[in-house]
Amino acid sequence: MSDPMDVLAPEHRRLRIGDAWRDAAGAATFAVEDPATGRTIAEVADADVVDGLAALDAASQAMAEWAATPPRKRSELLTATYRALTERAEEVARLITLEMGKPLAEARGEVAYGAEFFRWFAEEAVRVEGRYNTAPNGGYRILTVPRPVGPCVFVTPWNFPLAMGARKLAPALAAGCTTITKPAAQTPLTMLFLARIMEEAGVPPGVVNVVTTTRAGEVVSALLADRRTRKLSFTGSTEVGRVLLRQAADNVLRTSMELGGNAALIVCADADLDVALDGAMVAKMRNLGESCIAANRIYVEEPVREEFTARFAKRMAALSVGHGLDDGVDVGALIDEAAVTKIDELVADAVDRGARVLVGGERPDGPGHFYPPTVLVDVPDDARMLKAEIFGPVAPIISFTSDDEVIAKANDSEHGLAGYVFTRDLQRALRFAERLETGMLGVNRGLISDPSAPFGGVKQSGIGKEGSHEGILEYLDVTYAAIDLP
Ligand code: NAP
């Protein structure tokens, strides 16, 4: 089998700025590691502020022409990107697994999901509409004109190195905006490969710029402080989101903030337990639990607690752990040592407070950042893992006896991204839907992400939506002309 790195030639492991692939101004580079082995897999350019501003120069220069490019042409370029990603899915998936650690099957799923944003927004690009209406007093007309907001800065996380960028790039380009993406330092390769694919697809220079750096704070601050930047879209932790919102305030930037979550998954006694088990496995273990919408807390109604727990524990124990590129692996490496240590501490804290470990619970020796699938029961309400994002393959199970009780517990969080409920009672499901404080709810399903749905959170999980028709509105300013016509 060939080396997954072969797909990204050394000249493309550099900054993508305007029409060039170039070294950082200071010629610095940084190493990207395979989290399953700790081995360095590539060196990429390490940008500083000068490079960031050069990318903004390129995005600003390209803005007028891109905004004036016919929507059909922009749509066709997005379709070409979708096709290229689909044709090269295996290469992209292997690159994702190598730099991020998820099993190949998960990476393939991410490529299919990420590519769909380009198809969806290729379809939206030609459906941006204004309005023309008569003012209520009949004396004039109002012409509403949506316009691209302008050059956008994107900051993306490591957990979905392709899809989190695709969710921003596709609607931005569809709306006529130019972009600068700063991918996570741990997973820059997939975004560089996407930029290369988009270059080959014919996206004009300056529309997609990519700046890889270990100095996120300095580079992003400089971009947000420059008046040519008109929009920030960030996906990452609530903690960093708050910092960036403060910085964005100085230039009164449009912002889309996709932040952290703490999803509760609720299994009611009347649920179809086969469906609930499948849903819980997906909601917990998709992406190794390193997902903002991962089930962080599993609440099971007392009459089915024992049966659900036993069957769920059996399925978790059967998962195999290993290098994501190896056949038959269900659970790959976590992103880094800090992630493993954090999970280990959260498990120890829960056990100290009285939780019992049914499956897993001990980090293995040896290289790579692995943690086994773990199930905990009798987890008390004050356990830290019920408040913090676990972001790994650990499932705390808590029992409940009434809907009021479980809704109060589920809502007792600063986050409000996703939730899940399993019940065969439609009215009960609808009551949960109305009372749970989340931007998204899975009803009898654990997979809720879809490019045609408006992904996003409430409370401190964020501002704005990605995907669906709402996704393109994030990149449009609605302006109007009042036209005298007595
Ligand atoms: P993170 O630490 O907040 O980092 C996200 C991005 O922000 C990275 O590119 C990072 O760069 C950059 N960054 C960090 N500090 C910065 C600063 N001071 N100024 C500018 N940029 C800065 O989050 P993460 O650990 O990568 O990702 C996990 C988090 O993302 C979780 O909380 C998860 O819930 C959230 N997430 C949310 C969604 C959603 O749609 N709501 C989706 C996926 C993930 P470096 O890589 O250089 O640190």
The whole-number average pLDDT for the span 42-67 is: 98
* Of 437, 410, 421, 439, the residue nearest 292 (C-alpha): 439
Task: Kindly give the distance from the C-alpha atom of residue 283 to the centroid of ligand 1, in angstroms, as a whole number.
Answer: 21
Class of domain 263-443: alpha beta
List pLDDT tens digits, range 202-254: 999 999 999 999 999 999 999 999 999 999 999 999 999 999 999 999 999 99
Based on the residue annotation, tell me whether 258 is a catalytic residue of this protein: yes
Structural domain spans, the chain: 10-259+461-482, 263-443
pLDDT bin (cut points 50, 70, 90) of residue 2 is confident
* Of 153, 360, 366, 374, the residue nearest 256 (C-alpha): 153
pLDDT bin (cut points 50, 70, 90) of residue 366 is confident
Query: Is the Cβ atom of 100 under 6 angstroms away from ligand 1?
Result: no
Distance CA 36, CA 368 (A): 4
10-259+461-482 CATH: 3.40.605.10
- DSSP calls for 91-155: HHHHHHHHHH---HHHHHHHHHHHHHHHHHHHHHHTT---EEEE-TTSSEEEEEEEEE---EEEE
List pLDDT tens digits, range 369-416: 999 999 999 999 999 999 999 999 999 999 999 999 999 999 999 999
Query: Is the Cβ atom of 439 under 6 angstroms away from ligand 1?
Result: no
What pLDDT, on the 0 to 100 scale, is given for residue 292? 98
Whose Cα sits closest to atom 43 in ligand 1? Answer: 292
In a 3-state reduction of DSSP, which class is residue 180? strand
Q: Are 208 and 78 in contact (CB under 8 A)?
A: no
Handedness of CA 278, 284, 289, 291 (dihedral sign): positive
Shortest-distance atom of ligand 1 to CA 214: 47
Query: Is the Cβ atom of 99 under 6 angstroms away from ligand 1?
Result: no
Roughly how many angstroms between the first and final C-alpha of the chain, as a whole number?
74
List pLDDT tens digits, range 252-268: 999 999 999 999 999 99
Distance CA 346, CA 349 (A): 5
Which candidate in 99, 106, 124, 258 is catalytic?
A: 258
Distance CA 140, CA 149 (A): 27
Query: Is the Cβ atom of 235 under 6 angstroms away from ligand 1?
Result: yes
Distance CA 400, CA 303 (A): 9
208-210/374-377 β-pairing: unpaired
Same topology, domains 10-259+461-482 and 263-443? Answer is: no
Q: Which residue has the tokens 């509105």?
A: 473
Query: Is the Cβ atom of 216 under 6 angstroms away from ligand 1?
Result: yes
pTM reported for the whole predicted model: 0.98
Whether the predicted pLDDT of 127 surpasses 70: yes
